Structure 1
Amino acid sequence: MSTVVFLLAPQLHLLDLAGPAQAFSTAADLGHDYRLQFVGEQEDVPTAQGISLRASITWPELSPDDLVVVPGWRSPEHESHAKFSASTLSRLSAHHHGGGIVASVCAGAFALGQAGLLDGRRCTTHYDLQGELARRHARATVVRDVLYVTDGRLVSSAGIASGIDLALHLLARRHGPGAAAQVAREMVVYARRNGNEQQASAMLRFRSHVNDVVHRVQDIIDFRFAQPLTLPELASAVSVGERTLTRAFCRATGMTPLRYQQLLRLERAEHLIGHGATVEAAARDVGFGDARMLRRLRNRGSDRPLPARRAAPES
């Protein structure tokens, strides 16, 4: 079981906390072993939205498999640096140096900076705070206008709702994109990514329709995209004819089920290649028999093929 510790500062923003907490809680409901704990320097933690939260002042024992998340806050002095004690900041630093992941939402990046974790690293925060973060931590590279930034075991996100994107990214990194897509769907949000990848995952980019049959087929493909899947098999699984499924799928997504599967394979392969895998290894991992098909798909005019037409709205 992995522990996710949320470090709560006074005047924290509820959604900075609730978004990622809900994502990991949903992942636990879906069978992934997560335990959430909330710690602070005081037991009663007032929030910016007027409600107080109860935190533990005792930290749990942490291992490299665990995660510490620092949600953001509102400062009455209009300065976003945290007022955590040296011992709390030392715990953040020790967890990271011990092999664990440390993440921040919004102004939480200032706590990471105070802990010495931003020096020489890429990071981000809410767009209103980026200038201040860059001034206070000149040795950090503040990346502007992105949802989140990953630099090794340090992950920082922009403001408020982007904490959900950060959590989904961490879940995808640990459990794969299918698991993150399932959590996102349960939460009725779009899975997003950052860096050189498209911010909207293909698994969620083509979900803005109301056709339940197509959603069920997409669920099958999402979780088995690396396996051989045939149109007869998919049609049988949802109890419709092959032609009916193809028409409905094209109308809802703008592509055939096979094209959708290829897109998921390509997107996952690009992710693996971007993290150091060879083309051959990525091709095998996503289900291509060899690297030739992957190379052909990557060389088709754009590294990221899009459907030939936009999905038509459903009545």
Structure 2
Amino acid sequence: MTRIPGAPGTPGASGTAGATGRAAARPRHLVAVLAFDQVQLLDVTGPVEVFTTANAHGARYDVRIVSAAGADVRTSAGVRIGADSAADTLPGRLGTLVVPGRADWRQAVGNLTLTGTVEALAARSGRVASVCAGAFLLAEAGLLDGRRAATHWQLAAELAAAYPRVSVEPDPLFVRDGRVTTSAGVTAGIDLALALVEEDHGADLARAVARQLVVFMARPAGQSQFSARLVPREARHPALRQVMDAVGADPAAAHRMDDLARAAGVSPRHLGRLFRAETGLSPGQYAESVRLEAAQALLEAGNDAVDTVAEQAGFGSAESMRRAFQQSLGVAPTTYRARFRSTARVLDPAP
């Protein structure tokens, strides 16, 4: 049985190392992480590690792993997790409820005890968050009706079909709608938890936690779950894979439809049909998504002028790149670069 380092009942649970007197005077923020059999291990441990690490930098989170009846659970990885208590024995009002998921979401939502526990805990919580397939449990409890939500990209269509009152966004790492935040798959739970820490204590503390956990960066909410360059591995038709590889290898090239089709040995019309059938995008839209990703990487890596980044990424002009950023990410390139190390999604329309 695994006890999570920093959880109540283990060394370091108070998390007061490095805390100031002012921080120690603040009331503790109760975070309940709901565990159940066959839950994904990292869905639980990722957020727990973020919140408990934040305590070493001045936060005051009281993190409790709970199960419906207080029993220990066996995760999908076969690792047992010890529950601190039954869910209904938690004291008073909760600051945050975190609901992880399991790969077989139908089994989870079919467990009336589990969904009832989610509903009861959510009613006592200031804010509610889910990781990966945990969104299905929130949806089953009615917590996502009329809200936008994210989940693992492979499950997005299933969530939308099963719960039509939920506005599912398949791409973002996490989506915040009111008091409910839902995240994409597995490791995105770490990004979500960092965003909640930033909401409570500011970007500096969240970045300190990310550095201690050796997280590459605190990724913004609107960042895509997956790289456009990974899509060719999913393409079935060899001509489509060839074109995608060519675009990914040199985003700054012109990539005219006729040239791409000729190189792949198909007609432009057939290439367009292949793209739409397998990616849902036109060849031009796919090329722009790769260029956008290239521009993001260039902005993150250095201080090149926006005009230079636009040229290197293949946009042709800074204005074209700005429009692409605004449409896809809701931010201007300069804002993206300035706030790169923040988990917040910036809505500043400044050029």
TM-score norm. by structure 2 comes to: 0.55
User: Would you say 1:173 and 2:199 are equivalent positions?
Assistant: yes
Matches of 1:13 and 1:107 in 2, distance apart?
A: 9
Q: Which of these residues, 172, 176, 182, is aligned with residue 156 of structure 1?
A: 182
Q: Which of these residues, 206, 209, 224, is aligned with residue 183 of structure 1?
A: 209
Once the two structures are TM-superposed, the CA of residue 62 in structure 1 deviates from its matched residue by 3.9
Once the two structures are TM-superposed, the CA of residue 267 in structure 1 deviates from its matched residue by 3.1
- The answer to whether the 8 Å contact 1:14/1:47 transfers is yes
Once the two structures are TM-superposed, the CA of residue 133 in structure 1 deviates from its matched residue by 1.1
Give 1:8's aligned residue. 35
- The answer to whether the 8 Å contact 1:157/1:163 transfers is yes
Give 1:254's aligned residue. 302
User: Would you say 1:67 and 2:96 are equivalent positions?
Assistant: yes
- The answer to whether the 8 Å contact 1:105/1:160 transfers is yes
Q: Tell me which moved more, 140-149 or 77-86.
A: 77-86
1:191-230 correspondence to structure 2 within 5 Å: 191-195=218-222
- The answer to whether the 8 Å contact 1:95/1:102 transfers is no
- The answer to whether the 8 Å contact 1:15/1:160 transfers is yes
- The answer to whether the 8 Å contact 1:19/1:164 transfers is yes
- Runs of 4+ deviating beyond 2 Å: 61-64, 77-82, 252-256, 262-269, 271-274
Matches of 2:346 and 2:301 in 1, distance apart?
A: 26
1:138-157 correspondence to structure 2 within 5 Å: 138-157=164-183
Output the amino acid matched with 1:19.
G
Once the two structures are TM-superposed, the CA of residue 131 in structure 1 deviates from its matched residue by 1.6
Q: Which of these residues, 29, 32, 44, is aligned with residue 72 of structure 2?
A: 44
Deviations along 1:87-124, whole A, 9 cap, x unmatched?
A: 4133134125xxx1000001111111121110000001
Aligned length: 215
- The answer to whether the 8 Å contact 1:82/1:111 transfers is no
Deviations along 1:32-67, whole A, 9 cap, x unmatched?
A: 101110111240211100121121214312436x10
Output the amino acid matched with 2:302.
G
Give 1:267's aligned residue. 339
- Closer/same/farther in 2, CA of residues 15 and 253 from structure 1, 3 Å limit: same
- Closer/same/farther in 2, CA of residues 33 and 84 from structure 1, 3 Å limit: farther
- Closer/same/farther in 2, CA of residues 141 and 30 from structure 1, 3 Å limit: same
- Closer/same/farther in 2, CA of residues 273 and 158 from structure 1, 3 Å limit: closer
User: Would you say 1:53 and 2:81 are equivalent positions?
Assistant: yes
Once the two structures are TM-superposed, the CA of residue 198 in structure 1 deviates from its matched residue by 9.1
- Closer/same/farther in 2, CA of residues 35 and 254 from structure 1, 3 Å limit: same
The percent of aligned pairs where both chains have the same amino acid is 39
TM-score norm. by structure 1 comes to: 0.61
